[in-house]
Structures are given as structure tokens and as C-alpha cells.
Amino acid sequence: MAFSSVPYSLTLPILCLAICSLSLTYSAFTSQDYNDALGKSILFFEGQRSGKLPPDQRLKWRADSGLSDGSSSYVDLVGGYYDAGDNVKFGLPMAFTTTLLAWSVIEFGSSMQSQIQNARSAIRWSTDYLLKAATATPGTLYVQLGDPNKDHQCWERPEDMDTPRNVYKVTTQSPGSDVAAETAAALAAASIVFHDSDPSYSTKLLQTAMKVKHSIHICSHFSGLTTHISDKVGSCYVQVFDFADKYRGSYSDSLNSVVCPFYCSYSGYHDELLWGASWIHRASQNASYLAYIQSNGHTLGADDDDYSFSWDDKRAGTKGFLEKNIQEFELYKAHSDNYICSLIPGSPNFQAQYTPGGLLYKGSESNLQYVTSSAFLLLTYAKYLSANGGVASCGSSTVTAQKLISQAQKQVDYILGNNPAKMSYMVGFGQRYPLYVHHRGSSIPSVNAHPDHIGCNDGFQYLHSGSPNPNVLVGAILGGPDSSDNFADDRNNYQQSEPATYINAPFVGAVAFFSAKSTAT
């Protein structure tokens, strides 16, 4: 999996070469290239699937896995995604991945053309699981499958895994506002995606996410939390955002070493509460969520200027989202502008660090997660500015939507191969890409090629093998190069060579945008 570190301290930006300039340039890639990258960026999620695979599964080297997930707690938790190169299902990054995939479709789905159904399928694979996790037991949200410490002692295909599939949950007594509010955001965002194509599913997603003011029924066997009849058979389930807000606390405190240091909630849960409420308001237009944001925004971090957007910290994304989607929140424009301007070289507010080759650099582990999320926010903000004829205010200067698009395109193009190493950091894209990916299923012969069970310790021969991965994890974007543009194509270097779902999710929207554009930025 992709470990996280305590949020980095902003470092002094280094001088950028010409690639960081704001002058408009021509891309190294055509709209057809971007469309190819779009299809592959979505295909990657099929390699991360857990559960019973469908007949139309395209990555044929994967097979069914985790078919008894949840059985130890007498619940069905089959499905969902493995987060990265391991076999654990972590709820917080999975929910964030889902929110960003949905947001990608909401903003740029009109540019996805033949890939729109694949994008919806990628979202639904996750939301089907999140619905189970949220509705299986009243007053409970299941947030993780698998013991990460035991899992990381093995190198096994998901089809073979025999490590403990422990079930972890947050409850009213052991809260997890961060993971619950992010789950609510994911369900709400996805409800928008399915609003036209599957209205009943969309309604189910939104009802699960939001608190219902007048419940049809309060479950007789559970008190103290709003519940609701979800469908005609009358199953009772928790309203996820209500749960997150009413029973406040970080899941890191409740679950400790089970989630830390893997996906510890370093930023706390305030950002997720504001993020979740924002998405539910967007999906439902329920005035109570607007009132919630107005009443709680300041205490939940809306006034903070933060310069990162990731599975852990949603503040930068929330403020741009609020400004764009809720007219009453133009007051957040200054904060959104501060984040955007921090990314633009030459701006008085410029704070970011770039590599000599022009890549945004924020951390040594899985750095490309920050690159893809920032590129996506640049494009969504550019879309907002274009629609409103506005500019971003950067101190005494302004930045146009076109400059934001140009900066985002440089980051996207760097990932796809326009970089000093002339290497694509998306597996399977271009003429040269990483071959030694830190990913169990990709690095071990498939069950088709090697039907016999490969045990926990037996798999390490493949981790340390000098041969390329036998199974190509098409579309996977890896952690990426270091601050000097150096990249070690080495399975053991997980900081650089491990993929993750939350790296790919915002990239789906970014390449969709460029797939519909001409080669000129």
C-alpha cells in the first residue's frame, strides 16, 4: 500500500526551467493520446477489484478474490477495491477515490464519450460495496477488510490470500467522523452520476448519505441515531453523514494501529464534515445542509489556507467546490485563489515546489497523488472561471483560466512521458513505462498461468525477481519520480513504484478534459 507521512512542511520553491513558464505551448500529445490515456486510467480499476468478477472483466489475469469478506462478522462485505499494491480494503482512501471518480464524471463526463459507461462501472464497483458497509448493521460503518500488518508480511495474489480478513468498523462508541463523512461524500457524489442513467440507484445512494429529517421508521433494536427504510423490503440502515456529525471523533483514535501509519487521519475530521455536507447539498439541494455549512464552516476549517488536496486533507478541494457550486459561498473565492495561485510559477503567492523538469513535488512517497489532484482542481477551477468570465486574484496580479489549463496540462503531460526521463508513469501507455510495479497481483504469475496456490512466503521470490511483472497493470499511475526527476523502476521501492486508486481517480477527469481539446493549450 501507499503509506502516508505526517503532512510535509512547505519548502522554498526551487527555480523552474522553461517547462514551468506560463507561456502557452503545444502539447506533446494529441487528443487521441489523451483519449487512450483516459481509457487506460479507468481500466486500471479493474485490476484493483475485489470480489466476484463480472463476465465483462477486461483484465483477464485477475480472478475472484475475497469472496468471504465480512463473514467473520456475519455481514456481506464482498467487493470494493484494494487500495494499492496490497490486498487490504481501506475505507477512507476507497471513499475518497469514489468521490473523485464521481467528480471527474460530473465535471468532464461529457468529454468521456465511449468511456463514460466504463467510468460509471468503476464508480459503481465501489458504491455497491460502500452501500453494504453503511447499511449492514445499524449504528455501524464498516471501514476496513484485512489486517494490514499481517498482509504486509506476505506477498500473495489476492486470489490466494490466506491472511486474516479481519473486519473493522466505527460505531457510536468508537466513532470515525472522517471516514464516515468521506463515505457520505462518495455516495452523494455518485448519486449525481447515476441521476439520469439509474434514478432508483441514485436515490438509494443519496438517502444512505444524508440525514433524513422525518424518518419513516426508527428501528426498534437501535436508538439514538436516525435510521430509515431503504427499500420495499424494509431494511434499516444508518444515515452516514448524521452518524459522522453526531458522533464525532477520528477513526485513527478509534482503530489506532489498524489504520496508522497506513491511512492515519493526520488532518483530523473537520475537513471531511465540511466536504461531506457540501456534496450532499450539491446532490440534494436540501437547505438544511446549506445551513449546516453556513453555521459550521468557520469552525470546520473553511477559513484555513491549505496547499494540499489528498485522501487525508479535503480543505482545498472543498473551498473550490463551494465557490463553484453554491452561489452564497463566493466568500471562499479568496481562499480558493490562494491555493490556485500557490501552484502558478511567477505568481506573488507562488509556494509550490517543482522539480527541474517541471513536476509538482510535495512528498517523497506517492508524490503523483498530489500532482493528479492538483491538476484536476486547476481544471475544475478554470472551468468555473471561464463560465463566469473571472480570473484568479494572485496578490497584485491575476491568473486567467487559460493559464490554469496550461499548468495542468504540463503536469498531465509530464506523467504521460513529456519529462526528462522520457518515461510514462502510466503503466501500458507510450513506448516506455515502468515494468517492475510494486503490486502483488501484477508481479506474481496469474492463476491462469500458475493454477497452484502460491503461499504467503512463496510470493517473495516474485517481489525480488529481476524479471518484469508478468501481468501488465494497464493504466496504473505510480508514485513517480523524486525531487530531481529520478525514478527507480524497482519493485522494492514502493515510494515510487506503487500505484494507488486515489492517484488515478482525479487523473480520469483531467485526461477526459484534454481528450476533447485540440493539441494547443
| Higher pLDDT, residue 326 or 73 | 73
Contact 242/211 with Cβ under 8 angstroms? yes
- Pairwise CA distance, residues 104 & 507, whole Å: 8
3-state secondary structure (DSSP) of residue 371: helix
Contact 455/162 with Cβ under 8 angstroms? yes
The predicted-structure confidence for 250-266, as pLDDT tens digits, reads as follows 999 999 999 999 999 99
- What domains, with CATH codes, occur in the chain? 18-515 (1.50.10.10)
Between 9-18, 126-135, 485-494, the lowest mean confidence (pLDDT) is in: 9-18
412 Cβ neighbours under 8 A, 6+ residues apart = 34, 375, 507, 510, 511, 514
pLDDT, mean of residues 356-376: 96
pLDDT, mean of residues 341-366: 93
Contact 15/275 with Cβ under 8 angstroms? no
The predicted-structure confidence for 421-463, as pLDDT tens digits, reads as follows 999 999 999 999 999 999 999 999 999 999 999 999 999 999 9
Closest CA to 90 of 312, 281, 372: 312
The predicted-structure confidence for 505-520, as pLDDT tens digits, reads as follows 999 999 999 999 754 4
The predicted-structure confidence for 56-93, as pLDDT tens digits, reads as follows 999 999 999 999 999 999 999 999 999 999 999 999 99
User: Is 489 an active-site residue?
Assistant: yes
N-terminal to C-terminal alpha carbon distance within the chain: 35
Looking at 389-464, list the stretches that DSSP marks H as alpha helix, in order from N- to C-terminal side.
401-416, 440-443, 460-463
* Annotated catalytic residue within 438, 439, 453, 482: 438
User: Is 107 an active-site residue?
Assistant: no
pLDDT, mean of residues 352-372: 96
* Annotated catalytic residue within 253, 305, 458, 489: 489
User: Is 453 an active-site residue?
Assistant: no
Burial code (b: 16+ CB inside 10 Å, e: under 16) for 213-233 equals eeeeeebeeeeebbbbbbeee
User: Torsions phi, psi of 286, nearest 5?
Assistant: -80, 120
pLDDT number for residue 14: 33
